[in-house]
Structure 1
């Protein structure tokens, strides 16, 4: 199996299916943590989840969590549990704000996903419309994109977590928001995500899905969830876009990155 593509069957380089996914995508929706960056690379998510659990304990609410949720590595699992308990907006809002502050701290040590920045810039230069649909806070996403000089590639189209935790993926709510804002049909879009919840949200919304798996464990989870197209690097996408770029820039005085 090549390092570029991770699938249930070995393939050599970009496949015809990958070419079709890329060529048909007028709108590209991105999950944030994974495809664009590793948000918690230097600020581990399990520690963040643990601090959220500790905060609930100080309020006498630790009993709301199952044993698995008390030891989860996923901060969103803690947020979902509190939302599920129906304690009211105040507690959920406080917990969500604490999670947002942790994510904002994490942006300082977030690791950009290899090839993500030039891929985003190239897709934008070729005329695709981009949006982020994520379970992370839109404040965090906006801060990271601005720091990388990518904010203009997405404009206002950042759709992320709020106090309605039940709308986190796999609910397709934020995908629908993005499509509605961009006046795009699901079939004209492509979601790039790295988790089974991304795949399920895309399936519910009727959006073609491309999985990104940075390691074998991620690839296995996506395959087990039914994801048919999974890549281990974003480089094949960038290569395909550059192979099929128009002979002249689509916008005045605009050039593809690297030219």
Structure 2
């Protein structure tokens, strides 16, 4: 496998990498499918008497984070959304022991770090879950900064809050950083701060939303092996 010229050019100036967790680093809900968690979240929303906030299509959304964000946008009672956020955090922590590492993620993280790149995690998952997963892979030394979802759900990506905190902690210029994510919200957050973006799409269902969000096809990889090859070739 050879890395494309566009990928090598994107990676060449990078000294700081802002990693999304679920997708580029692991499949967090591999042993506890996210769509099942989303269905249970809908039940929690119903128990709080808030099911009227979602239409039928939204109730079938397989992404629990998207559902949580919708409820937060439409419901003024923060106590309810805090309760839902805490429930989702517990599901994510339960999922950690059965999470699957994304192919090539671990060697890519270690190789890039050994080459001098500095990392942070910027995720819409709970920071507690992110830290717990990183610890299972013995990668804590590579990720001194982990910024995740808080009870202030308005700060979830596409809001760039967690990216901004990471850049500040790393003392990083946005132009020397890279956001590595698998969702349009990752791309939107990065664009707001002028941070270059690399998309990861393991299949067509992940690729299409990235392209629809405006990510150039040349800046999307379908395997992290492409990034690893580029780094090992010296760009």
**1:243 equivalent in structure 2:** 233
Provide the residue aligned with 1:179 in structure 2: 167
CA distance in 2, matches of 1:209, 1:203: 8
Residue 82 in structure 1 maps to residue 71 in structure 2: yes
Residue 114 of structure 2 is matched in structure 1 by: 125
1:18 CA drift (Å): 1.0
* Partner residue in 1 for 2:202: 214
Q: Distance in 2 between matches of 1:74 and 1:220?
A: 16
- The aligned residue for residue 147 of structure 2 is 159
TM-aligned CA deviation for residue 149 of structure 1:
0.5
Contact residue 48 and residue 80 of structure 2 kept, 8 A: no
Higher alpha-carbon Rg: 1
CA RMSD of aligned residues (A): 1.4
- For the pair 1:112 / 2:115, whether they are aligned, the reply is no
Structure 1 length normalisation: TM-score?
Answer: 0.86
Which residue number corresponds to residue 47 of structure 2? 58
Q: Which residue of 1 aligns with 2:214?
A: 226
Alignment partner of 1:37 out of 18, 26, 45: 26
Q: Which ranges in structure 1 are unaligned for 5 or more consecutive residues?
A: 5-12, 246-259
Shift of 1:198: 1.1
Query: Match for 2:91 among 66, 88, 102?
Result: 102
Unaligned runs of 5+ in 2: none
Counterparts of 1:224 and 1:214 in 2: how far apart (Å)?
A: 16
Higher relative strand content? 2
Alpha-carbon distance, 1:78 to partner: 2.1
Match in the other structure for 2:12: 23
SS in 2 for 1:160: strand
- Determine if contact 1:131/1:158 at 8 Å carries over to the other structure: yes
Where does structure 1 differ by over 3 angstroms across 4 or more consecutive aligned residues?
A: none
**Aligned match of 2:183:** 195
Q: CA deviation at 1:59?
A: 2.3
How many residues align structurally? 233
Q: Of residues 133, 140, 144 in structure 2, which corresponds to 1:144?
A: 133
